Structure 1
Amino acid sequence: MARYRGPRLRIVRRLGELPGLTRKSPRHNYPPGQHGQARKKRSEYAIRLEEKQKLRFNYGLTEKQLVRYMKKARKIKGSTGKVLLEQLEMRLDNTVFRMGMAPTIPGARQLVNHGHITVNGKVVSIPSYQCVPGEEIGVKNNDKSRKMVELNLQYPGLANVPSHLEFDKSKLHGKVNSVIEREWVALQINELLVVEYYSR
């Protein structure tokens, strides 16, 4: 299945706040559909599935990509859930979003895809590129790219730049200082349930 391109507020109503997917807030705070207001008892499987779907939709991943990240996280030493979140947060599209250069992760993905973002001075057009500490993220040196990012910086998606990143708004230049810490992950999620979902 390809990336989700449908109505985003439906997803937000069903799964709760997803800061990377949209900045809009729904008018109703119950799930969409005919039975949205009828309270149903959810099974354990449904709860784990919902947490997994939050990750998928917030970071704009396909199921296949998320499974691949999960397999990689299992091989790395440490808590699998924490490693998974670190990998997703260190993606280039998410890093651009967290620096405030785009209002949402899909917006950041588009900036990267269209070749407006540079890593260490070279244009990188792969949104899933894994940023590592020490890398410098910038904007391509042309008027169109700079104007787009300057416009986005007036209305950033999230107010605060996390501690592992630094960004200079005047130069449109940022740096990855370290790997993100768990408390700076903006998405409200229980990553252990995601690990349990894939362990079944």
Structure 2
Amino acid sequence: MGEIKDDTADQAADLRRVVMVNEDIKKVIRISSEVNLVALNAMLVAKRSGEKSRGFAVVSSELRVFSRKLEVAMTGLGALIFGLVRDAAAMQKQSRERRHWLNTVAHGGPGADLVAPMLARKEETMGSTGQEIRSDWHKLQIQLGRVLQMCETGGALSRSAKIEAVYGGDMSATLKQVANQIEETVNEIFSTLKLLRTQLAE
């Protein structure tokens, strides 16, 4: 996908793939908001259960920080995807114009001699757009790797929440339930991001 081709069908497929990646990014942003809400709920439950749940409250607070950082990182990925969609659409338009001008030159239609310099400029513009696309695609892959590392931290925090829930006394069962919900949400983010990395590698 890092190479945008001059073939219309390939370009359309590339554009569809970028749009699908964008949908996955929006999904992760929604899920990261859920982590924030679940972590807030966990903090409230820990506060009700008192001193025994202090460790759980600390982990919940860290999970809220994680969810905010994740949301910022995913918004950054969304901005990169927006740039890719814009550039891929521009490449499609430039390719159509180039093909039209090539046909004009090939058939020797009126003004064919005037089209040659315009065609050269169009090819130069397409080359520049292609470089931008490759650069943004590379940035996207690097940023996704960073976000996946961040999610490993989130996974460690969710496991810590499960451990801390054991010490919750009377509220232990409730804390375990909240900890499981946090773990499920973080795992959903992680699996979506891994799928996204696979799509980017295609």
Q: Report the TM-score range of the alignment, normalised by the length of the smaller protein.
A: under 0.3
| TM-score where L is the length of structure 1 | 0.27
Q: Which has the larger radius of gyration?
A: 2
State the structure with bigger RCO (CA 8 A, min sep 6), 1 or 2: 2
Decide which structure has greater helix share: 2
Normalised to the residue count of structure 2, the TM-score between the two structures is: 0.26
